[in-house]
Structure 1
Amino acid sequence: MQQNGERPILVTGIPRSGTSWVGKMLDAGGRVVYINEPLNDQHPPGRSPGVLRAAVHHRFPYISEANEAHFLEPFRDTLRLRYHHRAELRENRTPRDLMRMAKYSSSFARGRVRGRRPLVDDPFAVFSTGWFARRLGCEAVVVTRHPAAVAASRKELGWRTDFRHLLRQPLLLEEWLHPFESEMREIVRSPDPIAEGSLLWRMVHHVVAELRDGPGPPIRVVRNEDLSFDPVAAYADLYASLGLPLTEGARTIIERSSSGSANGNSSHSWSLSTQGLSKSGFRPLDSRANTVKWKKVLTPEESSRVRALTEDVAQRFYADADWG
């Protein structure tokens, strides 16, 4: 069995929780190979058979031992840092695709030579976290974020959720989401942005809480807010728990990423560090201010509604004071 410091890493959580921030900050230490959203069903960053040689047909595809045949060997290849050039070229041949292919194939090759650990940053893997830990030996890091903050971010981006992607996965319903099926069907009939985001938050965090508190392999649950208030100390703890050395260079990057002062003229070029991320991925910001930004984005009525819709699950992660 692989020991701490050797195992692959999965960073996941509900979209807009900060998974790409966490993934890039763990990448800053130079000991991992960063792999962005292989289970995204949209290209880019997903639908890249060079990275993952398996078709993805749903948002949030659910993988467990009962249906793993389609994904198990392809993910083992990904975590062995084996890049499939021919498969990629058959599917994706634009100039941008070729740039991504060069980036990934070279990072995979360097990672194999240098013994780097693969780090998969993928919010669409969140329902499959247990499988990644059990079957692929991943050290799972799940990022949580206040439900109102997620709602505010979705509102700013105009994001919606099509629950038909979840309803079309009977195994996911059977094993995890059957308590929420009627609510999903109601929202499909009568779409409502706040209700959509709140229900997705509840479902994701219901699964996360059960995995955290259950008998399976341990998962690390980290709150975005805790990382944001004291980033260097919080990331130092996370690095240590994963067996990663925190270098001075990584400390500097973490400080700049959360101060809102990083720019392309600094010694660390974020225009390079964010290459390959999905369009809504991490960008440097004032992390402390960002934790309460939701109070300016949501109306009081919207905030109250998000709390009412999520509180049965949110209380397992956030106290009353966190809503103040």
Structure 2
Amino acid sequence: MGFRAGRESGPIFIVGLPRSGSSWVGGCLGISSSALYYREPCTRAYSAANEGRVVFEVTPDNVPDAYLRSSQKLCCHSPYIRPSVVAYPHQWPPFSRNVRVPVVKEVNPLACSWFIDRFNPRMVVVLVRHPAGIASSMRTLGWVLGEGSTLDDWRCFGSRVAREWQQMLEQIADCDQVKIVRYEDVCQAPLETFQGLYRELGLEWSAMSEQWVRGSSNAKLQSKDHFSIRRDSVKNAYRWRESVTQDQLQALMEGYAEYELPDWYQT
């Protein structure tokens, strides 16, 4: 069952930590006329039955039941999935969904090795974002670093992000179908970047794709909905500089530097 017959028939995964911009990137890729877009099928099923963090290591011996159930539905393109997973209902008629390329957006990078083994994807797009951008976005939602947070708290958060990225890199080290993309690079040139990703991923670029990317990247008013995928992408890339102090940034990056990572972010 599923996608084990060959990588060319496998899904495309977009994976990043929460608040890394994966909803925007996933939505812009998933709108392709050749795509069948799934929005966090494993994470949403898991969150419905469990409280706590959604980022945790998934191994063959430690796969949550919610992940297994969701993967079975995904493999057979089952329509019996959570409505919140279906971002674009027009993609789901039976005659349509069976010929489209599954594009799956998830927010648990520590499940990458399981995603790769379970689904044999044609590509895993790993999205990274500046740790200060993740911290600022999570803080706005009240998830981390609330009032009274110390510089040690910021340092610990930076260390946590780096540790999780290092674990993710270890999981994908032996997979040759991985592309790491910086959120900030997509923000600076969204149209050109998405056109390139469409070509590399084998997705069909159309007038609708271009309209969607332009519309979601050039919103001049900042939405009050923190989960909106419409933004002024150029301004949004480094909007965190408006709310993160220099001392907080320094502490964050001190924690981040505790782990050896590629040269994605230095300051």
Q: Distance in 2 between matches of 1:318 and 1:248?
A: 33
| TM-aligned CA distance change 1:62 to 1:242, over 3 Å | same
Q: Amino acid of the residue matched to residue 141 of structure 2?
A: L
Q: Distance in 1 between matches of 2:85 and 2:133?
A: 34
What are the ranges of 5 or more consecutive residues in structure 2 without an aligned counterpart? none
What CA deviation, in whole Å up to 9, does each residue of 1:228-284 have, x standing for no partner? 111111111211121112112211211221112489xxxxxx9xxxxxxxx743431
| TM-aligned CA distance change 1:137 to 1:158, over 3 Å | same
RMSD: 3.4
Q: Are 2:69 and 1:76 equivalent residues in the alignment?
A: no
Given the alignment, which residue of 207, 232, 248 partners 1:302? 248
Say if 1:79 and 1:118, in contact at 8 Å, map to a contact too: no
Given the alignment, which residue of 23, 26, 29 partners 1:23? 26
Q: Distance in 2 between matches of 1:65 and 1:209?
A: 18
Q: CA deviation at 1:38?
A: 2.5
SS at match of 2:41: coil
Q: Distance in 1 between matches of 2:62 and 2:85?
A: 29
Q: Are 2:100 and 1:116 equivalent residues in the alignment?
A: yes
SS at match of 2:157: helix
Given the alignment, which residue of 285, 292, 300 partners 2:238? 292
Given the alignment, which residue of 143, 148, 170 partners 2:132? 148
What CA deviation, in whole Å up to 9, does each residue of 1:180-231 have, x standing for no partner? xxxxxxxxxx99652453233112211233345x223532111101111111
Q: Distance in 2 between matches of 1:191 and 1:84?
A: 46
Point out the structure with max Rg over C-alpha: 1
Given the alignment, which residue of 135, 143, 146 partners 2:118? 135
| TM-aligned CA distance change 1:258 to 1:105, over 3 Å | closer
Give the structure-2-normalised TM-score: 0.80
Say if 1:18 and 1:282, in contact at 8 Å, map to a contact too: no
What CA deviation, in whole Å up to 9, does each residue of 1:96-129 have, x standing for no partner? xxx7599888754447555112222121x31011
Q: CA deviation at 1:74?
A: 4.3
Q: Distance in 2 between matches of 1:254 and 1:126?
A: 25
SS at match of 1:39: helix
What CA deviation, in whole Å up to 9, does each residue of 1:43-71 have, x standing for no partner? 9xx53xxxxxxx65762243222234844
| TM-aligned CA distance change 1:13 to 1:107, over 3 Å | same
| TM-aligned CA distance change 1:101 to 1:150, over 3 Å | closer
What CA deviation, in whole Å up to 9, does each residue of 1:71-115 have, x standing for no partner? 446403223211337xx7xxxxxxxxxx75998887544475551
Q: Amino acid of the residue matched to residue 115 of structure 2?
A: F
Q: Are 2:41 and 1:38 equivalent residues in the alignment?
A: yes
Q: CA deviation at 1:8?
A: 1.0
Q: Amino acid of the residue matched to residue 116 of structure 2?
A: A
Q: CA deviation at 1:308?
A: 0.8
2:178 alignment partner in structure 1: 219
* Larger proportion of helix: 1
1:247 alignment partner in structure 2: 206
Q: Are 2:188 and 1:229 equivalent residues in the alignment?
A: yes
Q: Distance in 2 between matches of 1:143 and 1:28?
A: 18
Q: Amino acid of the residue matched to residue 72 of structure 2?
A: R
**Percent identity at matched positions?**
22
| TM-aligned CA distance change 1:219 to 1:152, over 3 Å | same
| TM-aligned CA distance change 1:102 to 1:286, over 3 Å | closer
Say if 2:35 and 2:103, in contact at 8 Å, map to a contact too: yes
Say if 1:149 and 1:293, in contact at 8 Å, map to a contact too: yes
Q: Amino acid of the residue matched to residue 63 of structure 1?
A: V
Q: Amino acid of the residue matched to residue 2 of structure 1?
A: G
Matching of residues 162-173 of structure 1 within 5 Å:
none
Say if 2:12 and 2:125, in contact at 8 Å, map to a contact too: yes
Q: CA deviation at 1:36?
A: 1.8
Q: Distance in 1 between matches of 2:69 and 2:45?
A: 21
Say if 1:209 and 1:316, in contact at 8 Å, map to a contact too: no
Q: Which runs of 4+ in 1 moved over 6 A?
A: 101-106
Provide the aligned length of Structure 1 versus Structure 2.
Answer: 255
2:165 alignment partner in structure 1: 205
Q: Distance in 2 between matches of 1:72 and 1:100?
A: 18
Given the alignment, which residue of 154, 157, 163 partners 1:194? 154
